[in-house]
Amino acid sequence: MASFPRLLIWSAGKPSSRGFKTRETLGEFMAEPRKIIIDTDPGQDDAMAILLALGSPEELDLLGITAVAGNVPLALTEKNARKICELAGRPDVEVFAGASRPLARRLVTAENVHGKTGLNGPDLPEPTMPLQERYAVDFIVETLMCEESGTVTLCPLGPLTNIALALNREPRIAARIREIVLMGGGFFEGGNVTPAAEFNIYVDPHACDVVLRSGVPVVIMPLDVTHKALTTPARIAAFRDLGNRAGVAAAEMLEFFERYDVNKYGGEGGPLHDPCVIAYLLRPELFRGRECNVEVETGSALTMGMTVVDWWGVTDRPKNALVMRDIDAEGYFALLAERLARLP
């Protein structure tokens, strides 16, 4: 498969000023699976990201899943996360419920995209695995304080409310997070819920602001990447043709999910957003981007939630995020099919 040379991520032999790891430094982590927490608001594309992670146990150690309100209310997102774990044959994964509303705004949801349940498409049974009693924000803080510093990556797939609450509750965790790899925002592509804003950031721009100001290394998968990763009929058929339960359910989810974007954009499929986060951890060479300053609009009614990306370096604001712009889409979908094939 074709792959991109990645820009401004790896230095010749030393970390960048923001603390991204060099290949030499990363070597020490490669012997053991990378520890991650997935923070999510499932959502069919969130479900695909969770399945990708669960299909990659040699490389990713999923410490837990934290649910947040976003695509649908919290009562559904925590249930959907458990449904996906059971679909993947992993009822042992711990799922925690977090924030039911944004930091400072009323909750905006997206049933028009994801359906009333958030996982419309396949007929998935009600989960039997328990929801953990601990509050998701407590789980995030306690895990980061207990695990070795610099070993846990946070993977937010929805609004950043839980992550911001954790950073506000215990500021010491910022220095202990390996990095935050998130799906959200857009710049050249614009927004998908308003002309200026992408959904995840629009739902809780104040939480995004907390994350971007935290000093934690941040990697962003914006619409500029995800709109190049389309669920074409052939790619969906490849999932169904796997013949396993996860592959068939994935195809059914995506056939429902893509209808909104096909109607909206007129393309041959819908963008598969959230698995880009997990794919980056597994195959970073599939992506290309650069370090930029990113700030989020929290005051304007017209551009609320807009991610202002200084792609061309026209300001003197410090770089605070590694922003992706391109993806090897064929490689991305091949990876998804390969890992889905490992599941029941």
Residues known to be catalytic: 273
- C-alpha span between 167 and 156 (Å, rounded): 14
107 CA to centre of own chain: 19
Beta-strand ranges (E) seen in the chain are 34-40, 60-67, 95-97, 152-156, 177-183, 218-221, 287-292, 294-296, 307-309, 321-327
**Paired tokens of 153:** 């990556």
Q: Tokens 């951890």 — which residue?
A: 281
Quick one: angle between helices 44-54 and 74-87, nearest 10?
40
Rg (CA), the chain: 18
Q: Give residue 340's identity as a one-letter amino acid code.
A: L
Query: Containing H/E element for 339?
Result: helix 329-340
- b/e code 220-235 from CB counts within 10 Å (16+ = b): bbbbbbbbbbbbeeeb
